[in-house]
C-alpha cells in the first residue's frame, strides 16, 4: 500500500468553490490500472513548529542506524553521511544525545570515537541489557 500526498494548490479551484466533494479510490486487480481523481478532500495537519523545543534528548542505536553494518560481524563499519553533523547540530541546540545499543561497549565506543561522535554521547548504555532498561538508565542520569 502506498500513500501519496499532493500539494493543495493543485485542487485550489475545487476547494475554493464552496461545493462539497468526496474522494473514492477503488483499486482494480489490473497492475497497470489508471487512477482518475475527479474530486478531493483535504486534511489539515497541526503545525509542528515548536516540536523541537520539547525534545530534550535523542537516544540512538548504533548498528544499521548511525552506521551501516553490524560492528561485531565485521571489522569496520561505515558511518552514515551527515550523522556527525546531525549530532553536532542537536548539541548546539541544547539537545542531549546518548546511545542505547545491544553490543560490546569498547569496540563501539572506539568506532564512534574514531568518527568523532563519542564526545556527543552522554551516559551511553552499550551492553546486552534490554534497550528499555538502558533508556531508563539514561533518563535517570
89 in a structural domain: yes
For position 59, which CATH number holds?
Answer: 3.40.50.1000
Sign of CA dihedral 122, 52, 62, 136: positive
Question: Could you state, in chain order, the average pLDDT of each consecutive group of 10 residues for the chain (141 residues)?
Answer: 62 66 55 58 57 77 87 82 90 92 89 86 93 92 91
- H/E element holding 80? none
Element (H, E) at 99: strand 96-102
Residue 127 burial (10 A CB sphere; 0-12, 13-18, 19+): middle
Residue 92 lies in a domain: yes
Res 1: pLDDT: 47
Query: How many domains in the chain?
Result: 1
Answer yes or no: is 45 within a domain: no
Instruction: Look at residue 102 and tell me if it is in a domain.
Output: yes
pLDDT the model gives residue 78: 84
In a domain? residue 104 = yes
pLDDT of residue 89: 92
Whether residue 19 is contained in a domain is answered as: no
Domain span at residue 85? 51-140
Backbone dihedral region of 116: left (phi > 0), alpha (psi from -120 to 50 degrees) or beta?
Answer: left
Model pLDDT, residue 4: 62
50: left (phi over 0), alpha (psi -120 to 50) or beta: alpha
For residue 33, is it within any domain? Answer: no
Residue 121 CA from chain centroid, whole number: 18
Give the pLDDT score at 35: 59
The owner of cell 501519496 is: 4
Whether 26 is in a domain gets the answer no
Amino acid at each position: 500500500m502506498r500513500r501519496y500526498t499532493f500539494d493543495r494548490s493543485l485542487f485550489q479551484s475545487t476547494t475554493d468553490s464552496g461545493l462539497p466533494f468526496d474522494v473514492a479510490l477503488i483499486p482494480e486487480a489490473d497492475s497497470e490500472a489508471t487512477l482518475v481523481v475527479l474530486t478531493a478532500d483535504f486534511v489539515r495537519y497541526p503545525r509542528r513548529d515548536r516540536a523541537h523545543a520539547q525534545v530534550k534528548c535523542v537516544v540512538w542505536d548504533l548498528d544499521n542506524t548511525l552506521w551501516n553494518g553490524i560492528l561485531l560481524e565485521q571489522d569496520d563499519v561505515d558511518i552514515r553521511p551527515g550523522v556527525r553533523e546531525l549530532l553536532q547540530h542537536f548539541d548546539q541546540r541544547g539537545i542531549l544525545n546518548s546511545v542505547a545499543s545491544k553490543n560490546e561497549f569498547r569496540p563501539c565506543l572506539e568506532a564512534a570515537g574514531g568518527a568523532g561522535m563519542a564526545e556527543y554521547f552522554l551516559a551511553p548504555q552499550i551492553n546486552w541489557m534490554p534497550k528499555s532498561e538502558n533508556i531508563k538508565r539514561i533518563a535517570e542520569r
